[in-house]
A = this chain, B = another copy of it.
């Protein structure tokens, strides 16, 4: 059986694949952007994921390629596939995680619920869309955005004039994506895993809380999601996973609108912050599941282990010192909470770890998780 998984990218997602791999007797090799990355404790090769030779050479040392991020260029991914390297998710699927315009087109084609959107190539086109949608809209650069970067709410096309200028200079005839500003009650995320042979497993839908475009907190399952909401969310994600041919973990970020619709916001084709709770709160965590999926092994059960799980990100970390300097205080006050430390240097706004609490009283669980995370943040 193939047993060596090559991960391109060495952030916390690659790092958290390591414990799952150790337990299953699998080996992780990482292509890291630089020294001292989060996953540097696996076998690491340092190199540029945009460099063809580097990636091809790395692929020779592993049985299957997967990812910590979605930024590897299509032409390199396609050459890997042509050479017979298993790549999961593959370039045909990753395309839709790499380009938000293509994603919107494809989801509309699949009949999935999305916000009103348009491809705009000029400030005038953008202003027309804004006028038709209540005077404000969300503009996104199709490529390269994450955690709120490359996303702006505008009332006038001129507010993103420099994005149009950059597109014109790029010379590839690009466009921006504009979407209606959705009035939503809350944000949800539906995580699924799909293996190449087609089997899919869905975790319970979760509620995600974003602060400044960055995920801050996740409640699993999403409150009041029993019944229809959970089914609709799972159906959407299963349809996307099948329709786009995603392999590995897929996260679908959703808006629950004030008029009770679910709309697809973003996709991530890899383990995702909205699924960190599953490491402690589900029978099979997303990192173990991702490894199973990319090796085309039968998927594990995705049920919750507790009535409620709450994950809170540690953003920034202590103003001075390291996360571990706070273990004494955090462990003493919160003996049931699981702490995950990404081994990164603290820096304002940076995701440096997360905590997960579980139990049968949601208020208690939310309190435990938030209070623990607070100890690690100044």
Contacts and interface: CB of A to CB of B under 8 A. Distances in A.
A42 to B, nearest CB: 8
Interface stretch (A16-24, A49-57, A102-110): A16-24
Interface residues of A, number: 43
A261 to B, nearest CB: 33
B331 A300 contact: yes
A305 interface: yes
A3 B324 contact: yes
B298 A331 contact: yes
Interface stretch (A89-97, A143-151, A336-344): A336-344
B41 A22 contact: yes
A361 to B, nearest CB: 15
Contacts of A306: 305
A217 interface: no
A148 B169 CA distance: 75
A295 B25 CA distance: 27
Contacts of A284: 335
Residue of A27, A298, A342 most packed against chain B (CB within 10 A):
A298
A297 interface: yes
Given A19-B18, A19-B19, A24 B299 contact: no
A292 to B, nearest CB: 7
A23 B27 contact: no
Interface of A: 1, 3, 15-16, 18-20, 22-27, 41, 283-284, 292, 295, 297-301, 303, 305-306, 322-325, 327-328, 331-332, 335-336, 338-343, 353
Contact of A342 (B25, B303, B335, B342): B25
A26 B324 contact: yes
A24 B324 CA distance: 8
Contacts of A19: 18-20, 22-23
A331 B331 CA distance: 34
Given A18-B19, A300-B335, A301-B336, 6 more contacts: A24-B327, A24-B340, A298-B328, A298-B335, A299-B335, A300-B331
A292 B15 contact: no
B341 A25 contact: yes
Most buried by B among A23, A283, A324, A332: A23
10 contacts: A1-B322, A16-B22, A19-B19, A19-B22, A23-B339, A23-B341, A24-B339, A295-B327, A298-B331, A298-B335
Contacts of A328: 1, 297-298
A341 B25 CA distance: 5
Given A19-B19, A292-B331, A25 B343 contact: yes
Contacts of A336: 283, 300-301, 303
Contact of A15 (B22, B283, B297, B300): B22
A306 to B, nearest CB: 8
A110 to B, nearest CB: 28
A200 to B, nearest CB: 13
